[in-house]
Amino acid sequence: MKLILLDKLLKTMSVATLIFLTSIASAIEHEKTSTLEDQNAVAVTIYNENLALIKDRRSITLDQGFNLLAFRGVSATMRPETSLLRCLNNNKAFNILEQNFDFDLLTPQKILEKYVGKQIKIATMNPVTGVENIEQATVLSTNQGVVVKIGDRIETNPRGRFIFDKVPDNLRDQPTLVIQLNNQIAKPQDVELSYLSSGLSWKADYVAELNADDSKLDLMGWVTLNNKSGTAYNNAKLQLVAGDVNVVKNKLQHRLDGRTMAAAKIVMEDSVQEESLFEYHLYSLNRPTTLSNNQTKQVALLTAAQIPVNKEFLLQGNEYYYQSSYGNIGQKLKVGVYVEFQNKEKSGLGLPLPKGTVRVYKKDKAGNAQFIGEDNIDHTPKNEDIRLKLGDAFDITADKKQTNFAKRNAYGKYNYAFESAYEVELKNAKSEAVTVIVREPVPGDWKMLEQSHPFKKVAAGTAEWHIEVPAESSTTLSYSILVRY
């Protein structure tokens, strides 16, 4: 009966349909495989937020009709929904029917998992006779060990070698994009697969060296590349995008060298070109480079010399003690050390600087470079200032106390009014005089009543003093202030 129905079905099918179905069956049995050996070129554009655009060009030959193309050597962390395969010779050469990203890689554990409920063979060797015995077994479970059924008995973690009939279709030895397509041209074609991928990242790292009197520095910039995408990119055209590119995320995801300081100059390394791209900046490497899997690579970005620097000592206050009585606020308070320079042409810079870490060195009396601190910078356009905190001063400290506090009558639109007074003793154990900036964030509507040194209201809620402290001596700043809410 079944044979009669099949015969009737075959008679109702057109010859073209039968040819197409036959070609599908043949293609499934004979998968077309493209490896990195087919690759003509690859371009990699890496963004700041663990994101990269890959453009992989290859020469392939497809059969006319239905093809099952296994595109091997793609990123293991690719976003398959972003992939696009196109023919560079003829945009109508083929049309894609379906694609599957096989990233479940072949391991002993994985192949066992795929054979749960199926039969395998287990080979054991008799240690005395040396005779090998092969038994048929059914895999029952691979959770926290292997459970199999051999004949009428159940065994856990059996000894011996596991023998499998074949590798399951959806297990691959490397990440593979499997594409079903209908091809019109049965001859060699140049194709390009483009897709977005995580696992590739870059950052800028800077090395700076201060001169003897901390008035100028040399700066060298590096691009540090990391490839953890699961594949290599050989002789790639590399481009880097600096800027905060918006990426839609689902709810389950959590977003120096030895140059002499002779004359002010900046050199963008010959190997790198910079240009504006939309609201970002694009850095292009002028030569191809290979990004191996699980590799960190550094590429020179820029070199600048004789950049003028301002060095600052800053004592940063708090606003909590302006609202209540506290008495002694702190002894031997830390004074931060900062260096600041301008990203301007007249300062020896004037280029868009990608965000990264700046590590600062200074030579000791013996001429050896010593590490003195580091700080992060954000994306910095030209003509902006760069400010780095390198640490806290060892020889400069401060003692701060509240010398008076009183509640005053509030009137008009105010509900509360407080008058308080303070003393800040700045101590300098260095052999030269220093200037310390005392910066106080003051809450509410405030008015300075008295002060021993002139201050500036640098912002609506900030008072600032620049205090000269003699060598191996101290200076005391005193002031009183009225704060109203």
Average the pLDDT over each of 264-268, 377-381, 413-417, 469-473 and give the range with the smallest value: 264-268
Domain extents in the chain: 31-41+57-104+172-197, 108-163, 200-306, 310-341+384-484
Q: Write out the two tokens for 312.
A: 């600052």
Percent of the chain with pLDDT over 90: 64
Check: CB of residue 141 under 8 Å from CB of residue 69: no
The pLDDT of residue 22 is 41
Identity of the amino acid at 344 = K
How many residues does this entry show for the chain?
485
CATH number of 310-341+384-484: 2.60.40
Q: State residue 281's pLDDT score.
A: 77
Residue-level pLDDT at 253: 43
What is the reported pLDDT for 464? 97
Q: Which residue type, as a one-letter code, is found at position 183?
A: N
Q: Looking at residues 383-387, what average pLDDT do you find?
A: 93
The first and second tokens of residue 143, run together, are 């959770």
Q: What is the pLDDT averaged over residues 390-406?
A: 96
Residue with the larger pLDDT of the pair 410 and 200: 200
- Amino acid 248: pLDDT: 60
pLDDT (mean) for 189-211: 94
- Mean pLDDT for the chain? 86
**Residue 50, φ and ψ in degrees, nearest 5:** 50, 50
Mean pLDDT of 180-196: 93
pLDDT digits (tens, 9 = 90+) for 71-114: 999 999 999 999 999 999 888 889 999 998 887 777 888 888 88
Mean pLDDT of the 206-221 span: 94
Return the pLDDT at 277: 65
The model's confidence at residue 26, banded by pLDDT at 50, 70 and 90, is very low
CA 6 vs CA 13, 20, 24, 26: distances in Å: 11, 18, 19, 20
